[in-house]
């Protein structure tokens, strides 16, 4: 029997990771455009159904923490990813049959738990193979904002607006592969934050009265947040070893934002539609602030890859001398 080379096995495993990412991404994206349908399904309003996002993110938080430990304990990581994909498929199949908010939230907790564990394992598996709150809050609520906000668009148009976000995000993530080859992780982060800020400004000042501005803001936000999380992980990974447990903490921090932001937006959306732009703008400013703090922390640390290769780190040497 023909034995596959080590490189061929890594390629096959990476393709499995891609398939898992597609599964997780579809499950993550589908809830927002279907939110109005879910309201009709369980006979409730936006204010009360927003709790499902908090429940899903609570599951994601638990999955990120427990999943990180599970992936560290077992060598059968591909099998573990298959199990979590199976749990996601079961929960997504059961969602349309839910007739109460509690039942709907319960299935989304299972889905969130599986996605949290899967995301943690996927990111670290990619690093091992090749050695190398706002996104959710906005994209899940923008379709509802389009319909119930000041523009009063149709639900179909709202779904198209959501799709434009995911299209921009997909294009940006693909482009970031080539940008990462040419530029440093920090440069990519700064570029992302500039686009993110531009989208937040358009959303804050123009989107409430102009449909084209809502489309533009959505596309800019999609481009801005696409590679931000991955770039931060890659940046930090140059200074510390990113294990499943550490990445679980990263994902847990993101999950806290995912728990709070969609619920806050959903709770106030019908009363104060502008809450969407307020939250996105505040999140953008906070992201910039945290990036500056992280830079100040890491600038005095030695790049572990530079250290291995024996290449001088001018910035590090200058700071160390001070």
Q: Which residue has the tokens 């499995």?
A: 16
Interval 186-197 mean pLDDT: 92
Give 97's DSSP letter: G
- Give residue 184's pLDDT: 86
Instruction: Give the highest mean pLDDT range of 87-91, 236-240, 258-262, 305-309.
Output: 87-91
pTM: 0.66
177: nearest Cα among 245, 246, 122, 126: 126
Residue 303 Rama label (left phi>0; alpha psi -120 to 50; beta): beta
Nearest to 168, CA basis, from 129, 221, 204: 221
Higher pLDDT pick, 225 / 301 = 225
- pLDDT, tens digit, for every residue of 282-298? 888 888 888 888 788 77
CA distance 289 to 283: 10
Closest CA to 295 of 249, 236, 214: 236
Residue 76: per-residue pLDDT: 76
Predicted confidence (pLDDT) at residue 246 exceeds the cutoff of 80: no
Can you read off the two tokens belonging to residue 201? 């400004």
pLDDT (0 to 100) of residue 214: 96
pLDDT, residue 223, reads 93
Structure tokens belonging to residue 211: 């449909």
Torsion, Cα of 28, 65, 305, 184 (10° steps):
30
More confident residue, 72 or 199: 199
How far, in Å, CA of 67 to CA of 110, rounded? 13
Q: How far is CA 37 from the centre of its chain?
A: 23
Structure token digits, residue 263: 């619920």
- Which contiguous run of DSSP H or E holds residue 241? none
Percent of the chain scored above 70 by pLDDT?
A: 80
Residue 84 pLDDT > 50, yes or no?
yes
Q: What is the pLDDT of residue 129?
A: 45
Q: ∠ CA 52-57-58 to the nearest 5 degrees? A: 95
C-alpha 76/C-alpha 17 separation (Å) is: 14
If pLDDT is split at 50, 70 and 90, which confidence band does 312 have?
Answer: very low
Nearest to 19 by CA among 110, 113, 76, 89: 89
């Amino acid at each position: 029997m023909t034995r596959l080379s080590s490189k061929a096995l890594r390629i096959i495993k990476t393709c499995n990771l891609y398939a898992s990412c597609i599964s997780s991404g579809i499950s993550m994206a589908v809830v927002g455009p279907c939110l109005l349908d879910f309201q009709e399904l369980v006979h409730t309003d936006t204010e009360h159904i927003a709790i499902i996002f908090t429940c899903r993110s609570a599951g994601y938080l638990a999955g990120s923490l427990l999943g990180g430990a599970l992936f560290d304990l077992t060598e059968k990581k591909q099998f573990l990813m298959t199990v979590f994909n199976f749990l996601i498929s079961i929960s997504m199949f059961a969602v349309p049959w839910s007739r109460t908010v509690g039942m709907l939230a319960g299935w989304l907790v299972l889905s969130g738990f599986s996605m949290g564990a899967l995301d943690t394992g996927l990111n670290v598996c990619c690093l091992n193979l090749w050695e190398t709150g706002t996104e959710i809050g906005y994209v899940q609520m923008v379709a509802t904002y389009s319909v119930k906000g000041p523009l009063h668009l149709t639900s179909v148009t709202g779904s198209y607006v959501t799709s434009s976000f995911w299209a921009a995000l997909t294009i940006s993530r693909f482009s970031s592969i080539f940008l990462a080859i040419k530029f440093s992780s920090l440069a990519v982060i700064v570029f992302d934050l500039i686009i993110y800020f531009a989208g937040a400004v358009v959303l804050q000042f123009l989107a409430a009265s102009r449909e084209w501005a809502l489309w533009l803001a959505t596309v800019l936000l999609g481009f801005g947040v696409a590679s931000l999380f991955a770039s931060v992980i890659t940046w930090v990974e140059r200074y510390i070893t990113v294990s499943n447990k550490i990445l679980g903490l990263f994902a847990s921090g993101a999950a806290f934002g995912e728990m709070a932001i969609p619920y806050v937006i959903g709770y106030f959306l019908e009363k104060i539609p502008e809450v969407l732009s307020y939250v996105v703008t505040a999140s953008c400013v906070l992201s910039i602030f945290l990036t500056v703090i992280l830079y100040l922390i890491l600038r005095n640390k030695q790049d572990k890859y530079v250290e291995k290769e024996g290449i001088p780190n001018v910035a590090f040497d200058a700071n160390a001398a001070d």
